[in-house]
Amino acid sequence: MKRFSFQVILRIVLIILNAILIAWIIGDMRLFFNQLTLVLILVIQVWELIHYINHTNRELTRLFLAIKYADFSVTFNQNKLGKSFKGLQESMIEIVEAYRHVKIEKEAQYHFLQQLVNQIQVGIISLQDEKIIFMNPVAEEIAGVQNVKNWKIFEQLNPALAAELHEDGKKLVEIKSKNGAKILAMEVSTLMMVDKHYKLITLQDINSEIEQKEIEAWHKLIRILTHEIMNSVTPISSLSETMQSMLSDKHGDQKSLNDLHDETIKDVRFSLSTIQKRSESLLDFVDNYRKLTRVPKPNVESVIIKPMLESVEDLMREELARQSIQLKLHFENHNEVLQIDRALIEQVIINLLKNSIHALETSTTKHINIRCYQEGKNRIIEVADTGKGIPEKELKDIFIPFFSTRKEGSGIGLSLSKQIMSSHGGRIRVTSKVNEGTSFYLVFKNMKR
């Protein structure tokens, strides 16, 4: 600071001396050119003083411009103003270096995120108005477009997909292309950043996942079908062979009526009776399978939940009383209305109540609670019991057709219930703890008050 003050004082003294000298010789025409020269020197001295004093401001301006235009090659003279301004100039250099490192890190993060987004197996598209800001290779492959930067061109190249991407939200869509149909899980969301609207689109081709699940479902179904059919056909085949041997002699010829004893006839009748029972069981099994494949389309209407559940309670009252089971209904809103097929949903609730009644056979506390309440945008009908619960290893299989934990069970009640809820655009889920109870939840999506 001393050097800066000295330089300023020195320049002011020189200006004053020059001004005194001009004043001393002013008016003497013989020294006209001397006067002119001194005035010119005075102007230069004043300009140089101003320039010297404003040097710090110019350095700060250079710093701000360097930051604004990301020019980190700028340097600052550390000696011109002396040691007093060395700390300031060093701070300027540190600021420039800090911004340069931030820019480098930002660029590195951007390239890392870009590589990451390019490697994940989910298509990502970012839009700002009609401009495509970013589209990763997976999105390009799914959409069948390459290096497109304008949304209008994208719409021309793939109008079917573009039509599905206008509204925000999640959905599954089937898109047909020259390579065949694709089932896509897509999500569209709009966000605001730096006063600009952006649309973020994610696309995922789930054909392989769905095919894998279908194969697993078919394997489970075939395994169950094979088990049930073999259980019926094996004794029929065995008993038929037994009767054939009882009615034939050692040469394989038919026995005469006189050769048949009462014991033989009794065994034949028993075998025929068993064959009849197993045949009827097989027919029942086929009939149940037919029911699963012929779930009717819901006839949707406005239904008040409370009277519907009270009607189901009246229908099951006698069976509940016979086993001393206490059923309670709980309503968050007594006038709640759902758009459903009443008959089908009543069938689902009856199926769940029958399962609860069976689960309470060995329980000391026999309670069933049916609750109706809101969960987010969804409406829930919960059927909860205090029964024996479902073991975890069985919990994942209870919705598989013909799977049953009861010897006399058909194994289609929960499968049918799941199909009915799916046809209503909803779903059914379950939680259970062994020896504590089970709760089934009928979830009706986007049901508002």
Query: Given this model, what pLDDT does residue 418 score?
Result: 87
Query: Given this model, what pLDDT does residue 329 score?
Result: 94
Q: For residues 272 and 172, what is the distance between their CA atoms, to the nearest angstrom?
A: 53
In this prediction, residue 448 has a pLDDT band, given cuts at 50, 70 and 90, of very low
As a CATH number, domain 211-293 is: 1.10.287
Q: For residues 282 and 30, what is the distance between their CA atoms, to the nearest angstrom?
A: 139
Residue 340 has pLDDT above 80, yes or no: yes
Query: Given this model, what pLDDT does residue 367 score?
Result: 94
**Residue linked to tokens 């930067």:** 149
In this prediction, residue 72 has a pLDDT band, given cuts at 50, 70 and 90, of low
Enclosing H/E stretch for 267: helix 262-293
Amino acid at 133: I
CB 441 within 8 A of CB 384: no
Residue 1 has pLDDT above 60, yes or no: no
Angle at 426 between CA 425 and CA 428, to 5 degrees: 150
The rounded percent of the chain whose pLDDT value lies above 70 is 74
Q: Which of 120-124, 331-335, 424-428 has the lowest mean pLDDT?
A: 120-124
The rounded percent of the chain whose pLDDT value lies above 90 is 13
301-444 CATH fold: Heat Shock Protein 90 (3.30.565)
In this prediction, residue 444 has a pLDDT band, given cuts at 50, 70 and 90, of very high
pTM: 0.47
Residues whose CB falls within 8 Å of the CB of residue 355, separated by 6 or more in sequence, listed in order: 413, 414, 438, 440
In tens, the pLDDT along 384-397 reads: 999 988 888 888 77
CA distances from 78 to 55, 58, 59, 82 (A): 12, 14, 11, 7
Amino acid at 366: K
In this prediction, residue 449 has a pLDDT band, given cuts at 50, 70 and 90, of very low
In tens, the pLDDT along 25-35 reads: 777 777 777 77
First to last CA, the chain: 75
CA distances from 334 to 303, 304, 308, 426, 449 (A): 12, 8, 11, 21, 12
Query: Given this model, what pLDDT does residue 386 score?
Result: 93
Listed ranges 44-48, 206-210, 271-275; the one with the highest mean pLDDT = 44-48
CB 323 within 8 A of CB 357: yes
DSSP state of 379: E
Query: Given this model, what pLDDT does residue 347 score?
Result: 86
Residue 242 has pLDDT above 80, yes or no: no
As a CATH number, domain 121-205 is: 3.30.450.20
Query: Given this model, what pLDDT does residue 215 score?
Result: 66
Where do the DSSP E strands lie in 234-366? 301-304, 326-331, 337-340
Range 237-261 average pLDDT: 72
The mean pLDDT value of the chain amounts to: 78
Q: Which has more pLDDT, 149 or 100?
A: 149
In tens, the pLDDT along 358-394 reads: 889 888 889 999 999 998 888 999 999 999 888 888 8
Residue 117 has pLDDT above 50, yes or no: yes
Handedness of CA 262, 267, 272, 276 (dihedral sign): positive
In tens, the pLDDT along 267-293 reads: 777 777 877 777 776 776 666 556 655
Query: Given this model, what pLDDT does residue 443 score?
Result: 92
Q: Where are the domains of the chain?
A: 2-101, 121-205, 211-293, 301-444
Q: Which of 200-214, 327-341, 402-416 has the lowest mean pLDDT?
A: 402-416
